[in-house]
A and B are shown apart, each in its own frame.
Chain A
Amino acid sequence: MFVFPGDFLGYAEEYVPGEGVYEEEGKLYAATAGEVVVEDKVIKVRTVKEIPEVGKNDIVVGRVVDTRNSFAMVEIVRKKGSERALRHYDRALLHVSNISEGYMKNLENGVRYWDIIRARVIDNNLRLSIKEEDMGVIRAICRVCGTPLVREKDKLKCPECGNVERRKISSYYGSGEW
């Protein structure tokens, strides 16, 4: 059944309100337009256009906006599979231990300030991991001159000044995709 915001769906005693449903004075109404789905007493509305929310196991893209000794803060911009700004925005945490499979002592060997990374969310508190092969830095700039770095095997090289930097490079590096 297709419903519109405000359509009466049933009474609070009948169902548990799920996504896209709200309760008022014991009655359940649709909050968004879409198809009604009932599963195990939970009633939801599958919306026409979803507002993305990041949760565990989602793939996200973001920029490193702050680095500390053992962790980096990442501003997430998009979730994979969605073109739209996120429902909630916050800085995500990327700890050194989640950068590579091996031991990494210095965070700066993995990510640096202003890098754009592709990462996986590993819990619901916005903690990230880039251990996987296709996760990691997808764009970085030279810390000497600011030029975008070019991948050269497992290193990144600056085409302007020849500076070579180390990163946890994603297999998507430089492809423009993620």
Chain B
Amino acid sequence: MASEDVKRLKGEIKLIVDGKRLDGRAFDELRPIKIEAGVLKRADGSCYLEMGKNKVVAAVYGPREVHPRHLQDPIKAVVRYRYNMAPFSVEERKRPGPDRRSIEISKVSREALEAVIMKELFPRCGIDVFVEVLQADAGSRTACLNAASVALVDAGVPMRGMISSVAVAKVEGHLVLDPTKEEDFYGEADIPFAFFIRNDKIESIALLQMDGRVTKSELMEALQMAKKGALEIYRMQKEAIKSRYIIEEADENE
């Protein structure tokens, strides 16, 4: 890795060649996405999602009784979200268990989902969302949020709308949608977004993080790019739910 850093600083590694990215995508193009809902039998709702090289699986349990009891809220449900990376999900084996990064991701993702889940309908209950990263590339938190959103719909949990999430990075002075690992590593900035989408329109921002350096106008431009990407993802999320539902319909008719 270190020698690659040196090479990049010397300008020997280029992330953008002839206006194209390393994997041949345009600046505002998403990585290939595959979404499948209802993949786990024991979970109330689940989703398997691939976003580029990211492979994640989300499971939703609940609304169910909360243990320990002191975590219960007498007027609304508690939402718990766990982002976890499998030891084999990254190039160098990750020590299992939560770390600072995954705790933070869990927190911000939970807050994003809390914006859409109608918690007031389930007093004293808990809604647990578990997302496991089986293979990680850049933007695994956005992949996880997209998967969690589909899994929640699959579980039939009432929501005000859906969450779609995508990141924008700044690479060699260009803003690029849905960065890959190289772009994230060697780029100048990484900005994950999540949007609350209702009725095919973006209502509000549910998650916004940024690290790196961007100008004010670049941030605004990144937001526009992310919105466009998120709506595309939203369409795929809906498609995933629809296809699962239609298969079930066919089963019932047999």
When the two chains form their complex, are residues B153 and A32 in contact, meaning their CB atoms are under 8 A apart? yes
Interface residues of A in 15-30 (CB under 8 A from B): 20, 22, 24, 29
B122 within 8 A of A: yes
When the two chains form their complex, are residues B44 and A32 in contact, meaning their CB atoms are under 8 A apart? no
The CA-CA distance from A84 to B45 in the complex, in Å, is 11
A6 within 8 A of B: yes
B44 surroundings in chain A (CB, below 8 A):
49, 84-85
When the two chains form their complex, are residues A85 and B197 in contact, meaning their CB atoms are under 8 A apart? no
A8 within 8 A of B: yes
Q: A6-B197, A85-B65 are in contact. Are A32 and B245 (CB under 8 A)?
A: no
B242 surroundings in chain A (CB, below 8 A):
2
The CA-CA distance from A99 to B116 in the complex, in Å, is 44
Interface residues of A in 31-48 (CB under 8 A from B): 31-34, 47-48
- The interface size of chain B toward A, counting residues with CB under 8 Å, comes to 31
Determine which of B65, B157, B198, B199 lies in contact with A32 in the assembled complex, contact meaning CB atoms within 8 Å: B157
The CA-CA distance from A49 to B46 in the complex, in Å, is 12
Specify the chain A residue showing the minimal Cβ separation from B155: A49
B108 within 8 A of A: no
B125 surroundings in chain A (CB, below 8 A):
87-89
When the two chains form their complex, are residues B160 and A89 in contact, meaning their CB atoms are under 8 A apart? no
Range class of the A interface residue count? 20 to 34
When the two chains form their complex, are residues A48 and B154 in contact, meaning their CB atoms are under 8 A apart? yes
When the two chains form their complex, are residues A31 and B65 in contact, meaning their CB atoms are under 8 A apart? no
B238-254 to A contact mask, C-beta < 8 Å, 1/0? 10011011001000000
When the two chains form their complex, are residues B199 and A50 in contact, meaning their CB atoms are under 8 A apart? no
A50 surroundings in chain B (CB, below 8 A):
156
The CA-CA distance from A4 to B161 in the complex, in Å, is 8
B64 within 8 A of A: yes
A162 within 8 A of B: no
B102-142 to A contact mask, C-beta < 8 Å, 1/0? 00000000000000101000111100000000000000000
The CA-CA distance from A22 to B155 in the complex, in Å, is 18
The CA-CA distance from A168 to B199 in the complex, in Å, is 54
When the two chains form their complex, are residues A22 and B245 in contact, meaning their CB atoms are under 8 A apart? no
When the two chains form their complex, are residues A5 and B65 in contact, meaning their CB atoms are under 8 A apart? no
When the two chains form their complex, are residues A87 and B63 in contact, meaning their CB atoms are under 8 A apart? yes
B98 within 8 A of A: no
The CA-CA distance from A114 to B44 in the complex, in Å, is 28
The CA-CA distance from A48 to B62 in the complex, in Å, is 15
When the two chains form their complex, are residues A29 and B198 in contact, meaning their CB atoms are under 8 A apart? yes
The CA-CA distance from A34 to B65 in the complex, in Å, is 25
When the two chains form their complex, are residues B156 and A4 in contact, meaning their CB atoms are under 8 A apart? no
A7 within 8 A of B: yes
The CA-CA distance from A112 to B122 in the complex, in Å, is 31
* Interchain Cβ contacts under 8 Å between A and B, 11 examples: A4-B153, A4-B241, A8-B198, A8-B199, A22-B118, A22-B160, A29-B161, A31-B118, A32-B157, A48-B248, A88-B124
| New contact pairs (13) apart from A5-B158, A33-B241, A48-B154, CB-CB < 8 Å | A4-B153, A5-B162, A6-B198, A22-B160, A31-B118, A48-B156, A48-B245, A48-B248, A49-B155, A49-B156, A85-B63, A85-B64, A88-B124
In the A-B complex, the 8 residue pairs with the closest CB atoms = A6-B161, A6-B198, A31-B158, A49-B156, A5-B159, A85-B64, A8-B199, A47-B156
